Amino acid sequence: MGLDFSIVRGGPLYRLGQRLGLADGTRGLFQMAAILAAITWLPLLVLNLTRGSGAGGDPTVSFAWSLGTHTRFLAAIPLFFAAEATFDTQTRAALGHLLDAQVVTPAERPRFDRILRETMRGRDSVLVEVALIVITAGLMLGGVRTDLPVNVTNWRATGGGLTPAGWWYSTVSLPIFAFLLWRWCWRLLVWGILLCRLSRLHLDLVPTHPDLAGGLGGLNVAHADLAPLSFGISAMLMASYAEDLLFGGAKLESLVLQFTAIAIGLTVMMLLPLLVFTPRLGAVSQQGQLDYGVLATAYTRAFNAKWVRGGVPSDEPLLGTADLQSLADLGNSFEIIRNMRPTPFGLYQALILLASAVAPMVPLLLIALPLDELVLRSVKSLGGM
């Protein structure tokens, strides 16, 4: 069914885009992404070309070699909006499925609708976005940056002060990027609160549902669509580490722990909201095993009395009897209950998000190791040498 809900299409920035005449829906999101990418990056290019530090020369000074800058504004910002488009569509579909499948029962529909309305009010909060702007401004003024390492992008500073490009970067580009990142954190929090409140409804979860999540499996599809967000954050961090490897003298071996923490941390962050259903799913699985255990005991006792102990009528053939199929179906149902997952998501969705966090790390191997050495090490590893 069509559901009037969106986790991303709201808030002051979204309404500003509408006032500027941007298209509604997914197209408008990508238009906003293009505008913000242009505002944050193009002036830096023009100012550096004017000053003569746009390309060539010392790579620790040249704007062209500022990998973190290019990745933040040309890759991460569009990926943030791509995640908005996919996550918005899938969350609306997943919530609609809960109604269509009557996981949310008609008696709970008023509470469900109230939760959605209150969630969208939180999404639209002007106070929250103003607070995010204040936090971002405070971090920028306090010298706290998310761009590492600062010592290798000297196109921003010269003679003890900021260049024109450095001023634009520090006062416009980086604050916009930081605001978008903080806004995504807020949206994940709002979504997590929504799921937490839904988990407290009297949901009609079926232990034999083939999605192994009692009927909540549609939610894991939505979270798999956070892969662009995970990729964008990881790419932004990896670009900064790449500058460290290229110009800062860092060694790949010293960064393994950080890379592992980033990959695991991003995956956990994207899936964490779904863990609110773990207690309910555990209870449903436990009760299902008890209920179907009673049913299985009664059926198998009757089956045994009829077919094993000679209670079957003489004119009823064993071949083709529906009793055997029913016994097998009962066994399959019991196996589904025993295999119920403790979370709505499965290994496949977790691997998608993990891969999206790990993928930006692969180019760093090529930076740190020559291609021929990397191939040789891989062959030796596979050969057990």
In this predicted structure, what is the pLDDT of residue 298?
A: 86
In this predicted structure, what is the pLDDT of residue 145?
A: 44
Tens of pLDDT, residues 236-262: 999 988 888 887 777 888 888 999 999
Above pLDDT 70, what percent of the chain? 83
Q: What is the pTM of this model?
A: 0.85
The dihedral sign for the CA sequence 141, 147, 148, 152: negative
Q: 261-265 long-range CB contacts below 8 Å, 24 or more apart?
A: 262/234, 262/237, 262/357, 263/234, 263/354, 263/357, 263/358, 263/361, 264/354
Q: Best-predicted range by mean pLDDT among 31-35, 104-108, 133-137?
A: 104-108
In this predicted structure, what is the pLDDT of residue 144?
A: 43
Tens of pLDDT, residues 186-195: 999 999 999 9
Distance, in Å, from the CA atom of 279 to the CA atom of 285, rounded to the nearest integer, reads 10
Higher pLDDT, 1 or 265: 265
234, containing H or E segment: helix 227-247
Distance, in Å, from the CA atom of 55 to the CA atom of 176, rounded to the nearest integer, reads 25
The phi, psi pair for 157, rounded to 5°, reads: -140, 145
For residues 181 and 145, the answer to whether their CB atoms sit within 8 Å is: no
Q: What is the mean pLDDT of residues 120-134?
A: 89
Q: What is the mean pLDDT of the chain?
A: 84
Helices (H) and strands (E) in the chain, counts: 16, 2
Q: What is the mean pLDDT of residues 367-376?
A: 59
Nearest alpha carbon to residue 68 among 365, 370, 364: 364
Tens of pLDDT, residues 258-313: 999 999 999 999 999 999 999 999 999 999 999 988 888 887 888 777 766 766 66
Q: Residue 345: helix, strand or coil by DSSP?
A: coil
pLDDT-based confidence at residue 71 (cuts at 50, 70, 90): very high
